[in-house]
Amino acid sequence: MPAAFNRKVTTEIDDAPLEVLEGALPADLAGHVLFQSLSLLPGDAGFSGDGMVWRLDFDGPTPRITSRLLRTTDYIMGAAFADTSYRFESRGMARLGSLGMQNQCNTALVGLHGNRLVATADGGRPWEIDPATLNPITPVGALDEYRPVVDLPFNRHLCPLTITSAHPPFDAETGEFYGVSLSTVPIPGLVFFEVLAWDGQGRFKRVPVVTGDGRPLLVSQNAHQICVTRHHLVILDASGTIEAGKLLHPPNSWEAGFTQVPRPESYLYVISRDDIRQTAGGVVTQRAIVPRESGHFMVDYDSTPDRLVIHSAHTSASDFAEWIQPYDIHPHTRAPNRTELINAITPVNYDIGVVGRYEVDARTGAVLEQNLFYDDWTWGTGGLVARNPLTPAATLGDVFHATSGFPTDLAVDRVARGFWSHPYRIVAIDELPWDGVPSGLVRVDHDAGRVVDAYPYPGDRFGWTPTFVPRAAGATGSDDGYVVTVVFGDEATERSSGTEMWIFRADDLASGPVVKLGRADLAVPLTLHSIWLETTRTTRPDYRIDVRRELTERAASWQLDPLVASILETEVLQPYEAMAS
């Protein structure tokens, strides 16, 4: 695993040209690739970095790259209160403090009608950003439209403890966007789950979700991924447990190293979209259970009210909510993990990946039919994927997966031990590929259940964050375009920092990249999810949340310490409004 995978980057790049390092740039490559990354500060670990959004531009004679820290009010508060007792401190999965949980919007990007772009995370409301400037425009929803896990009548959190989803879906056919707010605290009276239905400009419709026995839905791990079919909203209780030791202690403490492996099955909750539209109260969900963990999933958009199809590239025997601690050792060699990888996340599946297609009865949650496959290309499935956004969404068809392989340098003994008795294990523990399996770019036909094409990255490189770019002029075929990937490496040259952008023909991955792009000073931190836009021009309604009003109301509740309101006014709101104007 290249050390560059764990690079900490806070410096932005402003419209810089990328050099062709190898190959030739396709003439029909067009539009813009945008992706999220984690800008970690020196005291951060894991996923607790600020959102840094990147844009690759292919609309001129030379490809260019820009990055911007996402300067929301939460981001500005982090710097404004950094030298006070109210500062936010890393807890690995987030930054916490007496002002609440900093909403970092650092995980994914969702497109809306009019070329609008929304940045998301699992902890906090999304923010709409301008694709042209990468500056924030407005939060999506007022703070009082989300139900926080905890709130007080005094010393109210300026950054409420709100659990959401990093993948809130938008249905381009109907124009509906679905968010959530929920609690994972399994204590009666503190359990809730609300669907937030939005038309893109008004207030949310808030809909409580209950199970068949009338109890509030408890998602016990997280709601990282949500998908829509024509008739259903489907919510995954995703693999990844956030233990109390991680939230209450510094990220390199012994307490933060306590591990509780995720549930070995995937729980998927199915809700009728018609029920959400028509109800004046709550809705009932049905639960489908399939073997093996899932961090992400996909669905066929075509469905009937009583039937849907779910696809998952399972994260077999894996817990994504972990990072390497200074005291960690390798499960096989028993040697300490590499120093330069301390605090890196660990996308390691301690078993071979399995790709599943499940036909589900939406009225009962019963799995009516399942088709599973795995082969040598499915090590490290379940993370980042790309698909031609212009391809009809009726069935899933071909999807391009970034597989992590078996990155042995990131294997951690305290995490691996929890999966030794995994009930669905395929590869025996002593037969795991401890020498490592390279990362890959893999094209999977999810309808047929097979790998169509694949490319293994060189063993000293790590390929990540694929984005499908349709050929210019609106190509709709599943392989009619290119796949742009971020490739981490440590071997710097006069022309390349070692981290590069590799571009593949979507219909011929095995032949390798057609072009490699880079710069000598290109420093990219860990990247996550991405999106392709044809243009950066947007049309949008006059929708803006009054952040001044909602934040000053909360600051006024800190009556015993007027410093909070003072810092908020002079060091947060005034700079934010100057930027926003």
Give the tens place of pLDDT for each residue, 22-69. 999 999 999 999 999 999 999 999 999 999 999 999 999 999 999 999
Residue 335 DSSP one-character state:
P
Tokens at 570, concatenated: 């002079």
Mean pLDDT of all residues in the chain? 96
Q: Residue 193's closest CA among 149, 243, 259? A: 149
Q: What is the pLDDT of residue 376?
A: 96
pLDDT at 240 over 90: no
The residue-averaged pLDDT of 198-205 equals 95
Q: How far is CA 70 from CA 39, 83, 104, 332, 560, in A?
A: 10, 21, 8, 40, 32
446, 482 in Cβ contact below 8 A?
A: no
Q: What is the CA radius of gyration of the chain?
A: 23
CB-based contacts of 335, cutoff 8 Å, min separation 6: 329
pLDDT digits (tens, 9 = 90+) for 163-185: 999 999 999 999 999 999 999 99
pLDDT at 152 over 90: no
Q: Residue 141's closest CA among 176, 87, 179? A: 179
The residue-averaged pLDDT of 429-458 equals 97
**Separation between Cα atoms, residue 238 and residue 246, nearest integer Å:** 18
pLDDT at 247 over 90: no
Residue 562 DSSP one-character state:
T
Q: Residue 156's closest CA among 118, 107, 99? A: 99
| 230 band by pLDDT with thresholds 50, 70 and 90 | very high
Cα angle: 120, vertex 121, 122; to 5 degrees: 135
**Separation between Cα atoms, residue 395 and residue 502, nearest integer Å:** 28
Q: Residue 344's closest CA among 328, 360, 358? A: 328
209, 271 in Cβ contact below 8 A?
A: yes
The residue-averaged pLDDT of 197-213 equals 96
pLDDT at 393 over 90: no
Q: Provide the number of structural domains found in the chain.
A: 1
What secondary structure, in 3-state letters, does 318-334 show? Answer: CCCCCECCCCCECCCCC
Query: Which residue type sits at 490?
Result: D
| 244 band by pLDDT with thresholds 50, 70 and 90 | confident
CB-based contacts of 581, cutoff 8 Å, min separation 6: none
| CATH code assigned at 304 | 2.130.10.10
DSSP-derived pairing of the beta strands 354-361 and 64-69 = unpaired
CA atoms within 13 A on the CB side of 371: 11
How many percent of the chain have pLDDT more than 70?
Answer: 100
Domain that holds residue 452: 3-580
Tokens at 378, concatenated: 């499915």
The residue-averaged pLDDT of 133-159 equals 95
Burial of residue 395 (CB within 10 Å: 0-12, 13-18, 19+) is: middle
CB-based contacts of 278, cutoff 8 Å, min separation 6: none
**Separation between Cα atoms, residue 581 and residue 563, nearest integer Å:** 26
Q: How far is CA 380 from CA 287, 295, 375, in A?
A: 26, 11, 11
Cα angle: 313, vertex 318, 323; to 5 degrees: 125
H-state helical runs in 312-452: 413-416
Q: What is the pLDDT of residue 246?
A: 87
Q: How far is CA 394 from CA 400, 557, 566, in A?
A: 17, 50, 53
pLDDT at 473 over 90: no
pLDDT digits (tens, 9 = 90+) for 318-361: 998 899 999 999 999 999 999 999 999 999 999 999 999 999 99
10, 39 in Cβ contact below 8 A?
A: yes
The residue-averaged pLDDT of 562-573 equals 97
Q: What is the pLDDT of residue 245?
A: 84
| 389 band by pLDDT with thresholds 50, 70 and 90 | very high
Burial of residue 229 (CB within 10 Å: 0-12, 13-18, 19+) is: buried
Q: What is the pLDDT of residue 151?
A: 87
Q: Is 380 left (phi over 0), alpha (psi -120 to 50) or beta?
A: left
